[in-house]
Amino acid sequence: MPELPEVETTRRDLEVRVRGRRIVEVCFDQSGVSPARGLGPLELADALRGRSFERLSRRGKYLIAHLDGGDALVFHRRMTGNLIHRRPTDPPDPFTRATIALDDGSELRWTDMRRFGTWDLTSDPENAVPGIGPEPLSDEWTVDDLGAALAGRTAPIKAVLLDQRRIAGLGNIYADESLHLAGIHPERAAGSLSRDEIERLHRTIREVLALAIDLQGSSAQHHVGGLGQRGSMQDEWRAYHRTGEPCRTCGTAIARTRVAGRGTHFCPRCQPATSTASAG
């Protein structure tokens, strides 16, 4: 599913291709459902027609398309959303819910099998995502910041990693992967992590996100990049979606449980429930 690396992949792919392009028309499928809360398909098309893209930015899992005039169209791909740049003559993409025609004859196709994705038109792009936590790949995000986000919390560490108010952009895949690399059990109380564990986790979060961006994201399920290409990070998964398969570090079968309502994968040996001893 699209997490920070998948959204960043799309941003990089599309930025150069939509910059300066004017929206000629926006067409939605026949469902009558708009991905924009509070705006129907026709209203949304009216609001976007004639506007130009200035740049694309990202905040956590949100893709922000800055428009001329100072406002922005904010996309969230949720589970199955993709934004793909195509020519009209390219073969159809399955589950295309909307098409944005551009003034150079190309188009952006919004595909979203499960229709969870959202568009949000805002006049205040700087505050497009209120309450969201720090960007984990930013130079300004320190070990101390992570420590402060975890301090005193009794919730499982994985639940805190998934909480977008604490850290922006981690989802189920990269939470599991970061914890495996750090050797930390996903059900450990967040506030119980030692300084050494917090340092390891800070490092592995950044490592796994950076690698995933290099590999253009994980495409085991639905994600494709802005040109329709698959990523290859799924080949590097060490925990996520590997139930019963051998841990790449120690060979122990990867276990599966449920944390914060999400399927959770970990190595019972490398990620012990109690120890603070090293791993990763």
171 belongs to the binding site for DNA (CB under 7 A): yes
To the nearest whole angstrom, how small is the minimum distance from the Cβ of residue 176 to DNA?
Answer: 8
d(CA 142, CA 135): 10
DSSP state of 145: H
8 belongs to the binding site for DNA (CB under 7 A): no
List the one residue from 44, 64, 98, 173 that touches DNA (CB under 7 A).
173
To the nearest whole angstrom, how small is the minimum distance from the Cβ of residue 148 to DNA?
Answer: 11
To the nearest whole angstrom, how small is the minimum distance from the Cβ of residue 104 to DNA?
Answer: 31
Kindly identify the residues of this chain, within the stretch 19-48, that bind DNA according to CB under 7 A: 31
Is 3 an annotated catalytic residue? Answer: yes
Kindly identify the residues of this chain, within the stretch 111-130, that bind DNA according to CB under 7 A: 113-116
Q: Are strands 262-266 and 118-122 parallel, antiparallel or unpaired?
A: unpaired
d(CA 113, CA 96): 8
Q: Kindly write out the interface string for residues 145-164 of this chain, putting x where it contacts DNA by CB under 7 A and - elsewhere.
A: --------xxxx--xx-x-x
Q: Which amino acid is at 98?
A: A
Picking from 193, 190, 229, 199, the residue whose alpha carbon sits closest to that of residue 84 is 229
With beta carbons less than 8 A apart as the criterion, state whether 101 and 146 touch.
Answer: no
225 belongs to the binding site for DNA (CB under 7 A): no
Other residues' Cβ atoms within 10 Å of the Cβ of residue 171: 22
To the nearest whole angstrom, how small is the minimum distance from the Cβ of residue 256 to DNA?
Answer: 7
To the nearest whole angstrom, how small is the minimum distance from the Cβ of residue 153 to DNA?
Answer: 4
Alpha-carbon Rg for the chain in angstroms = 20
Please identify which of the residues 17, 206, 262, 269 carries the catalytic annotation: 262
With beta carbons less than 8 A apart as the criterion, state whether 206 and 175 touch.
Answer: no
Is 61 an annotated catalytic residue? Answer: yes
Distances (CA, A) of 88 to 48, 101, 279: 19, 9, 51
Q: Kindly write out the interface string for residues 64-83 of this chain, putting x where it contacts DNA by CB under 7 A and - elsewhere.
A: ------------x-xx----
What's the token pair of residue 228? 């329709």
Binding residues for DNA, rule: CB under 7 A, are: 1, 3, 31, 60-62, 76, 78-79, 95, 113-116, 153-156, 159-160, 162, 164, 171-173, 190, 260-263
Active site residues: 2-3, 61, 262
